[in-house]
Amino acid sequence: MYISKFQIFNYKSFRDSGWLEFQPGINIIVGTNNSGKTALLESLGLEFKDNPYRNIRMRDFPDSDLPDKSVANITFRLDKSEILKFIDGKTYISNSDENVLTIFQEWFDEAKDIEVTVSSKNNIPSIVISDFPKDILDRRSDHLLNIGKPGKVLLTKIGDSGKHELKEKEIHQVKVEQYIRNLVQVILDKLKRQIYRFNAERFHIGNCPFGSSLILKPDASNLAEVIYQIQFPGKKNIYPKLNKYLNILFPEIKKVSAHSNDQKSLEILVWSPKASEEDDINLALKLADCGTGVSQVLAILYVVVTASEPKIIIIDEPQSFLHPNLIRKLINIFKEFPQHQYFIATHSPIVISEANPATILQLSYSDGETKTKIINSKETTELRSLLKNLGVSLSDVFGADAILWVEGPTEELCFPQILEKFGDSSMKGIQILAVKNTGDLEGKRAHIIFDIYDKLSGGNTLFPPAIGFILDSENRSEKEKQDISRRGKEKVKFLERCTYENYLLHPQAILEVLQKENSSLQIPLADIKNYIDADKNKNDKLFESQEDRDNLISEIFSKFSVKYQKTKYYRKITNTNENFLLDPQAIFDVLKQENPSLQITLTDIQKYIDEAKEKKWQSQVNGANLISEIFSKFSDNTVEYQKTKHSLEITNWLLEHEPNYLQKLAEFLKGIIEA
């Protein structure tokens, strides 16, 4: 037995959920706080009351006819043998046809499952049974059997034979009316007893009155009673099994027991390994004195482990009372008992990642109501396969509105810090993740990898869309960049500099992090600055190609509003100075000759050339390698540069002491996110 379909109307934040389909096994319900998870679980548990949907926008229509009743439809899929188990006494069928027994037996003998749909409206439940013989039903209501309908026929199960007998009696002729039960009422009561809902709130179920039941009540209020019963002979195989699984979750608990001091009430005791070994009740703790979560887990385990028939187990926000590691263990225990159907509401990625759910129901609250989306097992299996290709897990991306893919783990750590520092509210809901192998984006596998990203961002899974990819320039040519960007459907952007570490070449920041690793180092700040400058100077031929020279000269002329005519100006510049590029005087003289009214100085030209050299150097030098050289040289090889760790520390130092140093990068990142 399991819930196969569900629909809810006009309840709390639900206007109309539509029909939602579920599967045997573990079903996950996800959504942020106030997305409607608890309301849905209440409905699944057949325990909700009228609480009509209301939307603030309804104020604009004060005269509208608003429904005041909530409705839920739940379809259970059962084996017909389970229906037989429901008929455990005298059951009332609304028909007096003498052929009803034959009709019922023929229907029952058909070898296929049936669906029972429970509908609750105006607090009056009704049931529709698939393919149920019309001749047994009240003809006025076709397939609908309503509780309280008058009728005449008693259906009684004959032992365990699977056969039935009918006795015709008018209701007023039956003296003990409490034994006369409508078939619909029987089925409804039985279904309710198959459902257990465990709330996120802490249970207070450590004690209860004496009793002899082995059936845990839906609210687990008789937990002490049922544990007391399984301690007796004949149930010894159940009791150690329960304690075994409890010990898997809580190694500090060897067993639990139910104990009575006054022969009127029972109390649950929790035994540590030492208390159990010494068999000393004085060392045992009361369940009420144990940590949050033990009572919930004990109640859940009792149902899972001891139930002789399939149950429907509903758990609300297990992460609210269990540590993540215990959640993993609990879900693995569920997998050992696949006969039960599980509904777990959560906003924790751990639950989804571990459960490998049959279905995932995604809830979201928008436009004043809860919206639903079902993701089936085929889609979740495909999602896991695609994520595996990217080297990430579902827990990495769950809950994000969008993904910004970056070069590597360093950027994954540092970019959120930069955006947070510069107060970018658009960053909310965006997860920054590292591309595990950037080489795949430009090699022969490029089209395969980008296809994977497209599938993941297609809106059919829990995977949020990719808003872009930020990669290092790493001396890629413009043609190479354009090719990668084209394959990535123009979502790929490149850092202006060679690597992210090129933005961290700040002498003071590097020195602070280096001395943090080895406080005995006495390094003058000027030495690190000179080392970086020396690297720039040794690249004095950054513009030695004709194309680079022409481009730079054209930029300078354009900046100062003089059109660059290569044939005309090249001879004048080369006649002035063979090494024209590094001589701002030559550029200045030609510009002034062409336009004497220009308001420029030699310093302006020098500054522009220096900035061009800096930009060119930053695009070519590998910043990570340069920082690594500095660490090795100035620590006498006592401190090794660990890229992710130390780059994050340099970033944090800059954000605290020199935030403007990273402002240009922050604007670049914000531009991609806001685009």
CA distance 68 to 51: 8
| 70 and 13, same domain (yes or no) | yes
pLDDT of the residue at 146: 31
Query: In this structure, what token pair is assigned to residue 37?
Result: 């998870």
Measured over the CA atoms of residue 193, residue 196, residue 201 and residue 206, the dihedral's sign is positive
For residue 671, how many other CB atoms are within 10 A of its CB?
Answer: 11
The answer to whether residue 330 sits within a structural domain is yes
Count of domains observed in the chain: 4
pLDDT of the residue at 458: 55
Q: Is the pTM of this model over 0.75?
A: no
575 CB contacts (<8 Å, ≥6 apart)? none
pLDDT of the residue at 243: 94
> Exposed (0-12), middle (13-18) or buried (19+): which is 247, by Cβ within 10 Å?
middle
Residue 439 C-beta-side C-alpha neighbours within 13 Å: 0
pLDDT of the residue at 176: 30
CA distance 63 to 226: 54
**Taking every pair of C-alpha atoms in the chain, what is the biggest distance, in angstroms?**
126
| 595 and 674, same domain (yes or no) | no
Last-in-domain residue among 286, 308, 330: 308
CA distance 269 to 619: 69
| 40 and 155, same domain (yes or no) | yes
| 46 and 189, same domain (yes or no) | yes
Measured over the CA atoms of residue 35, residue 38, residue 43 and residue 47, the dihedral's sign is negative
Using the structure block, give the residue that is written with the tokens 């009740």: 281
Q: Which of 137-151, 163-177, 496-510, 533-547 has the highest mean pLDDT?
A: 496-510
What's the one-letter identity of residue 71? V
The answer to whether residue 394 sits within a structural domain is no
Q: pLDDT-based confidence at 87, cuts 50/70/90?
A: low
pLDDT of the residue at 530: 95
- The three-class DSSP label of residue 629 is helix
| 299 and 405, same domain (yes or no) | no
The answer to whether residue 381 sits within a structural domain is no
Who wins on pLDDT, 382 or 151?
382
pLDDT of the residue at 451: 65
Query: In this structure, what token pair is assigned to residue 662?
Result: 């990273």
The answer to whether residue 265 sits within a structural domain is yes
| 153 and 214, same domain (yes or no) | no
Domain, as residue range, for 455: 400-518+636-675
pLDDT in tens, 562-617: 777 766 666 666 555 544 455 678 778 888 888 888 888 888 888 888 888 888 88
| 478 and 489, same domain (yes or no) | yes
| 65 and 190, same domain (yes or no) | yes
Give me the sheet containing 430-434, strands edge to edge.
Answer: 430-434, 402-406, 466-471, 492-494
Last-in-domain residue among 355, 373, 391: 373
Query: In this structure, what token pair is assigned to residue 528?
Result: 């690190």
The 10 Å CB-count burial string (b at 16+, else e) for 265-291 is ebbbbbbbeebbeeeeeeebbebeebe
Last-in-domain residue among 308, 331, 358: 308
pLDDT of the residue at 662: 95
pLDDT in tens, 389-419: 556 666 666 556 778 888 889 999 999 999 9
| 319 and 303, same domain (yes or no) | no
Who wins on pLDDT, 586 or 672?
672
CA distance 347 to 349: 7
pLDDT in tens, 284-313: 999 988 876 898 899 999 999 999 889 999
CA distance 74 to 1: 13
The answer to whether residue 58 sits within a structural domain is yes
pLDDT in tens, 169-204: 443 333 333 333 455 666 777 888 889 998 766 666
Q: How far is CA 100 from the centre of its chain?
A: 52
| 602 and 654, same domain (yes or no) | no
Query: In this structure, what token pair is assigned to residue 240?
Result: 């150690």
CA distance 207 to 498: 68
pLDDT in tens, 428-442: 678 888 877 666 566
| 44 and 34, same domain (yes or no) | yes
Q: Helices 546-559 and 602-620: crossing angle, nearest 10°? A: 140
pLDDT in tens, 478-493: 888 888 888 777 888 9
Query: In this structure, what token pair is assigned to residue 232?
Result: 């007796």
Residue 14 C-beta-side C-alpha neighbours within 13 Å: 28
| 352 and 325, same domain (yes or no) | yes
pLDDT in tens, 114-152: 888 888 765 666 777 777 666 555 433 333 333 333 333
Q: Which helix (H) or strand (E) holds 278?
A: helix 273-278
The answer to whether residue 109 sits within a structural domain is yes
pLDDT of the residue at 430: 81
Number of H helices, E strands in the chain: 24, 25
The answer to whether residue 550 sits within a structural domain is yes
Q: Which candidate, 490, 502, 515, 477, places its Cα nearest to that of 411?
A: 502
The answer to whether residue 39 sits within a structural domain is yes
